[in-house]
Structure 1
């Protein structure tokens, strides 16, 4: 189903993720990108629609919301968020810091639970680790840089087929060969 991006929900989600991640020393702009991605795509998988409905693009470091930069800039201008730059190992971390409390009434109870579980799942992961993890996502792997990643790609598995599935595939392959051979007569 077609979903329209909800910039207000994105703003509140950024604030909420930033609040939940205040004590995570690895939380910065890259990790925020990935937490937004996982939250929206897992919501689509679980509930049939994303939380923010934002478009995510395939970038070299993994999926990211297309409109994140302008939204962050508008939040800084409005006094909702600030960004603190600090050294993190050999990299500079740009850490989003909420100035106001997120309006959780924008989210359903199950959405709030999902958001919390995503933050917990990736707690203490650094930017490189969570970026690498996002590279296993088939939607990102198949995407062209800058192209929108369809939410529906979260529904495509990339696990190895079971032995039963392989047998079924071989049987269908044989059936297809016979059917195609018969159509050329």
Structure 2
């Protein structure tokens, strides 16, 4: 199966799904010491980017902005505050190599009924790679691709831009898609 070329460049944010995803990620990382803010942000980014590239739509519809350590979900702080207020999540600050690191602890089981089995499988795979095969520094560097480097701090990084960061042959299907999208935004 080939890559799915997304028809809709911008999809609306599904705030409830984003909140459920953050809760699920924190729940799945049984050892809070392996999940800080950088890794949480990267799991969200890669889950949405991979879903966008393979299925034609992100999981959450979230917008990401360039920050020092890579793409960051625009609504992450509000979502974390909501989860804390609902007693679904605790955030603790710990010293880590002379700096303060946030750790996230799920206080109850998340509701994952809004996710498809394929989405859960994708998310679990991303969690495994980010939490168990990377440090915060290495996953941060991995997210600093050509598109991230071109953006300014605070600037939106559209998910479709991630498709341009991959090397590959431009197909006739790619050209047709680009013409359709550019005619809709012109």
Report the TM range for the smaller structure's normalisation: 0.7 to 0.9
Which consecutive residues of structure 1, in runs of 5 or more, have no partner in the other structure?
166-185
TM-score w.r.t. structure 2 length? 0.80
1:129 to 109, 114, 138: 138
Structure 2 alignment gaps of length 5 or more:
1-7, 171-186
Larger Rg: 1
Displaced runs of 4 or more, over 3 A: none
CA contact (8 A) 1:122 1:130 kept: yes
What's the counterpart of residue 92 of structure 1?
A: 100
Whether the aligned pair in 2 keeps the contact of 1:27 and 1:126 (CA below 8 Å) is no
Q: 1:13 aligned to 21, 30, 46, which one? A: 21
Q: SS at 2:23's partner residue? A: helix
- The reply to whether residue 61 of structure 1 matches residue 69 of structure 2 is yes
* Cα-Cα RMSD: 1.9
State TM-score, norm by structure 1. 0.80
SS at match of 2:105: strand
Q: 1:158 to 1:45 in 2, by over 3 A?
A: closer
Contact kept, 8 Å, 2:89 with 2:106, in 1: the verdict is: yes
C-alpha distance in structure 1 between counterparts of 2:166 and 2:124, whole Å: 26
- Equivalence for 2:41: 33
- SS of aligned partner of 1:105: coil
SS at match of 1:4: coil
The 1:37/1:148 distance shift into structure 2, 3 A limit, reads same
1:23, 1:74 → 2: CA distance?
22
How many residue pairs match? The answer is 161
Aligned to 2:180: none
Report the Cα distance in structure 1 between the residues aligned to 2:53 and 2:147, rounded to whole angstroms.
Answer: 13
Counterpart of 1:176 in structure 2 is none
| Match 1:109 to one of 117, 120, 124 | 117
CA positional deviation for 1:95: 0.7
Matched residue of 1:51: which SS? coil
**Which of the residues 17, 22, 27 maps onto 2:30?**
22
Counterparts of 1:58 and 1:66 in 2: how far apart (Å)? 10
User: 1:100: Cα distance to partner?
Assistant: 2.0
| Equivalent position SS for 1:123 | helix
